[in-house]
């Protein structure tokens, strides 16, 4: 079949305006398909990573937004005494928006000596010593730095909160690169906050082999009659709950992906049908020259697949470049989901382009293979 490729490309080039428009339409559809898939990949990646880490989040009971959760900081010492607990990290969270948004700024305030233990960070620029020595210093993720055009040494402000950027970090977890980490006391003593002695949540690191659910129950039972009740969950479950409606929207977005596939199918199918109708006489001549119906079928089907693949590959390439350089994420209740252009997504998108081209070309290819030679030759 390879020997017929020059003929196939010549046929497509003959109607280059129609071919170009079809490829552009397929590219746009696969571009959107990749964006929808990137959100779903980011959600799945975040949940898988947090499940593997096995840490817990202790939040105030019956609260949903970080701005409303206020736990006593001294709960840290009591939780640490529970068998199976390795360490407890008090965390103050500040966000400029608890609702779902594409550009939420999230500050996590931790004791400076705990950050590198709790997170897998590598500084891309700046220094840890600069961060640890200055209470108003912060390290920010590369995604935030890229979106806000922030560099080391710059000052960054959200409302009354202003920090000095001491470093920019990368992480093996893409979602982490959408956060800003600062000193716990700095967030507690921030202008207009007066939160000394309280934190938004405690993150509990467990010893290997510890039963997560048993520790969750033990923590909540311990503080059931305390000054503030707790709600403890594995970190992945906590984040899934925090994302709430956003998770449902991400699930519903798959139907937009299906619509993109239908668009590619209709575009390529229409173009291929028009091409077959324009070349009925040509296909009849092919068969008089010795081409079998099977060969004609394969030629037309190959045209359809190539059209879909060229347009799809263009859309996929543009989507991957956009996602890589835009560092997009969507956040809700101080939990971010990165748009993740994974290798799996690229392969799935290419497979969608090929299968769609195949499905779109079967019917017109079958029509071309069954053309009435005498009737077609008699036609003008």
Encode pLDDT of 298-340 as tens digits. 777 888 888 889 888 999 999 999 988 887 777 777 777 788 8
Q: What is the pLDDT of residue 262?
A: 84
Q: What is the pLDDT of residue 308?
A: 87
Q: How open is the CA angle 369-371-377, to the nearest 5 degrees?
A: 130
Nearest one of 318, 53, 322, 343 to 206, comparing CA atoms: 53
Nearest one of 332, 337, 269, 342 to 95, comparing CA atoms: 332
Q: In angstroms, rounded to a whole number, what is the distance separating the alpha carbons of residues 87 and 190?
A: 26
Q: In angstroms, rounded to a whole number, what is the distance separating the alpha carbons of residues 64 and 68?
A: 7
332-367: pLDDT as tens digits: 777 777 888 888 999 999 999 898 888 888 887 777
Q: What is the pLDDT of residue 372?
A: 55
Q: In angstroms, rounded to a whole number, what is the distance separating the alpha carbons of residues 248 and 26?
A: 27
Per residue, the 3-state secondary structure of 232-266, as one string, reads: EEEHHHHHHHHHCHHHHHHHHCHHHHHHHHHHHHH
Q: What is the pLDDT of residue 138?
A: 93
| Token pair in block for residue 62 | 């019956």
| Token pair in block for residue 3 | 């020997």
Q: In angstroms, rounded to a whole number, what is the distance separating the alpha carbons of residues 89 and 298?
A: 64
227-261: pLDDT as tens digits: 899 999 888 777 777 666 666 777 777 777 888 88
Q: In angstroms, rounded to a whole number, what is the distance separating the alpha carbons of residues 324 and 326?
A: 6
| 3-class DSSP state of 326 | helix
183-231: pLDDT as tens digits: 999 988 876 667 788 999 999 998 888 888 899 999 999 998 778 999 9
Nearest one of 267, 211, 282 to 7, comparing CA atoms: 282
Beta-ladder partners of 237: none
Alpha helices, H only, the chain: 5-14, 16-53, 75-80, 115-118, 128-133, 142-148, 184-188, 212-222, 235-243, 245-252, 254-278, 280-288, 293-326, 343-369, 373-378
267-293: pLDDT as tens digits: 888 877 776 666 655 555 565 655 666
25-34, 75-84, 120-129: range with highest mean pLDDT: 75-84
Q: Is the pLDDT of residue 135 over 70?
A: yes
Q: What is the pLDDT of residue 318?
A: 93
Q: Is the pLDDT of residue 82 over 90?
A: yes
Q: Which residues, including other chains, have CB under 8 Å from residue 65's CB and lie 6 or more apart?
A: 98, 333
pLDDT band at 66 (very low <50, low <70, confident <90, very high): confident
297 near 67, Cβ under 8 Å? Answer: no
Q: Which residues, including other chains, have CB under 8 Å from residue 209's CB and lie 6 or more apart?
A: none
Q: In angstroms, rounded to a whole number, what is the distance separating the alpha carbons of residues 96 and 332?
A: 11
């Amino acid at each position: 079949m390879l020997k017929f490729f020059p003929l196939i490309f010549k046929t497509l080039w003959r109607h280059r305006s129609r071919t170009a428009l079809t490829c552009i339409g397929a590219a746009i559809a696969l571009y959107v398909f990749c964006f929808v898939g990137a959100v779903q990949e980011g959600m799945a990646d975040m949940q898988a990573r947090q499940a593997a880490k096995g840490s817990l989040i202790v939040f105030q009971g019956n609260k949903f937004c970080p701005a409303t959760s206020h736990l006593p900081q001294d709960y840290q010492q009591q939780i640490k005494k529970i068998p199976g607990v390795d360490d407890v990290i008090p965390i103050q969270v500040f966000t400029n928006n608890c609702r779902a948004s594409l550009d939420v700024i999230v500050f996590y305030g931790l004791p400076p000596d705990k950050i590198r233990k709790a997170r897998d960070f590598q500084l891309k620029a700046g220094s840890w010593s600069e961060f640890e020595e200055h209470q108003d210093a912060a390290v920010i993720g590369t995604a935030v730095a890229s979106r806000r055009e922030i560099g080391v040494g710059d000052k960054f402000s959200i409302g009354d909160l202003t920090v000095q950027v001491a470093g920019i970090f990368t992480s093996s977890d893409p979602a982490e690169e959408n956060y800003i980490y600062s000193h716990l006391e700095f967030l507690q003593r921030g202008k207009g906050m007066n939160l000394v002695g309280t934190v938004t949540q405690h993150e509990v690191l467990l010893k290997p082999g510890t039963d997560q659910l048993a520790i969750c129950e033990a923590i909540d039972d311990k503080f059931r009659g305390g000054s503030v009740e707790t709600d403890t969950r594995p970190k992945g479950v906590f984040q899934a709950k925090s994302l709430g409606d956003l998770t449902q929207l991400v699930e519903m977005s798959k139907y937009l992906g299906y619509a993109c596939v239908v668009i590619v199918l209709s575009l390529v199918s229409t173009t291929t049908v028009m091409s077959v109708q324009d070349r009925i006489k040509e296909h009849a001549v092919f068969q008089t020259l010795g081409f079998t119906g099977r060969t004609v079928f394969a030629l037309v089907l190959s045209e359809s697949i190539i059209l879909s693949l060229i347009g799809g590959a263009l859309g996929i390439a543009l989507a991957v470049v956009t996602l890589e350089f835009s560092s997009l994420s969507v956040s809700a209740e101080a939990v971010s989901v990165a748009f993740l252009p994974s290798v799996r997504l690229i392969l799935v998108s290419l497979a969608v382009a090929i299968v769609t081209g195949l499905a779109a070309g079967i019917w017109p290819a079958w029509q071309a293979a069954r053309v009435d030679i005498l009737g077609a030759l008699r036609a003008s």
